[in-house]
């Protein structure tokens, strides 16, 4: 059983997100360790990229900080290796844009990802019709390809996306880019239910999830996991120059968000 499979066998799971190299490669290792110690069940690690079109301003600025700190893809693989040494059983998923894989070469990229200890890769901007070069390389090295499904994805396209997916499915809760929201949009339970009919893979919901009540809503909707990114990345930005305060803020935020994994007796599902 893979680390991802083992995690979702005891779901719901809390999935945290960070950009490798933000605010620096050594600091990002300490950020990852603080998040793990606070209770992250799976860690998504973004490879910094110059044009992160799926990301809102908070995460976009994190990409910029990481790139200005000189973070390379080699640095990211080295970081993953160090996190794997620190947390042998923790599932690790790389969040990336396709150009990074294309420039490195798919076989080399997935070989190095596997050697570093990554369990899955989420390619945020690769259409299913153009995944033919990537799919066999991921399979060759035992890397799960995490599928993305949005509220606007048609049922027919959902089937096509799910046919090549493994690990878990990332359900995008809203139309638009990543970022904190005051409220989650209506229809999350409907999206979870519709995709659940098409796959036995675990379903995790992200984009906009930033409060304990959001976490509670997602779990009540039937999701196997909840993904929080911008709310955590914002704390890194707000505590620039105060690493101890940054780590304390991350631990407190994750502890509060994790409390939402226990649903209300009568949850309000949009």
Task: Write down all domains in the chain, each with its CATH number in brackets.
Answer: 3-261 (3.20.20.70)
Residue 75: active-site member: no
Residue 44: active-site member: yes
Ranges of the chain with pLDDT below 70 = 174-185, 263-270
Of the candidates 22, 41, 44, 112, the residue annotated as catalytic is 44
- Of 72, 266, 46, 14, residue with least CA distance to 178: 46
Q: Would you state the pLDDT for residue 181?
A: 53
Q: Would you state the pLDDT for residue 198?
A: 96
Angle at 218 between CA 62 and CA 97, to 5 degrees: 35
Of the candidates 22, 26, 41, 55, the residue annotated as catalytic is 55
Q: Round to whole Å and give the CA distance between 266 and 60.
A: 37
Sign of the dihedral defined by the CA atoms of residues 184, 5, 39, 24, in that order: negative
Q: Would you state the pLDDT for residue 54?
A: 80
Q: Would you state the pLDDT for residue 242?
A: 95
Q: How many CA atoms lie within 13 A of 226 on its CB side?
A: 30
Whole-model pTM: value is 0.93
């Amino acid at each position: 059983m893979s680390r991802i499979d083992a995690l979702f066998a005891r779901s719901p799971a809390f999935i945290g997100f960070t950009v490798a190299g933000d605010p620096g490669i050594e600091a990002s290792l300490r950020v990852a360790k603080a998040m793990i110690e606070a209770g992250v069940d799976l860690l998504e690690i973004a490879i910094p990229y110059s044009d992160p079109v799926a990301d809102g301003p908070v995460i976009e600025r994190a990409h910029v900080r990481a790139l200005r700190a000189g973070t390379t893809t080699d640095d990211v693989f080295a970081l993953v290796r160090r996190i794997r040494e620190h947390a042998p059983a923790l599932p690790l998923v790389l969040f990336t844009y396709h150009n990074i894989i294309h420039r490195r070469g798919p076989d080399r990229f997935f070989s190095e990802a596997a050697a570093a200890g990554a369990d899955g890769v989420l390619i945020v901007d690769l259409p299913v019709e153009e995944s033919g070069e990537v799919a066999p390389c991921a399979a060759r090295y035992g890397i799960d390809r995490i599928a993305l499904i949005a509220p606007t994805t048609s049922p027919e396209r959902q089937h096509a996306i799910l046919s090549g997916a493994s690990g878990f499915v990332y359900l995008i809760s809203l139309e638009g880019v990543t970022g904190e929201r005051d409220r989650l949009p209506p229809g999350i339970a409907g999206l979870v239910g519709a995709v659940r009919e098409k796959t036995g893979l675990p379903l995790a919901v992200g984009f906009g999830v930033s409060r304990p009540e959001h976490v509670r809503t997602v779990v009540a909707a039937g999701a196997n996991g909840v993904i929080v990114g911008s709310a955590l990345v914002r704390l890194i930005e707000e505590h620039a120059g105060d690493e101890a305060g940054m780590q304390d803020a991350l631990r407190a935020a994750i502890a509060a968000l994790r409390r939402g994994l226990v649903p209300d007796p009568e949850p309000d599902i949009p």
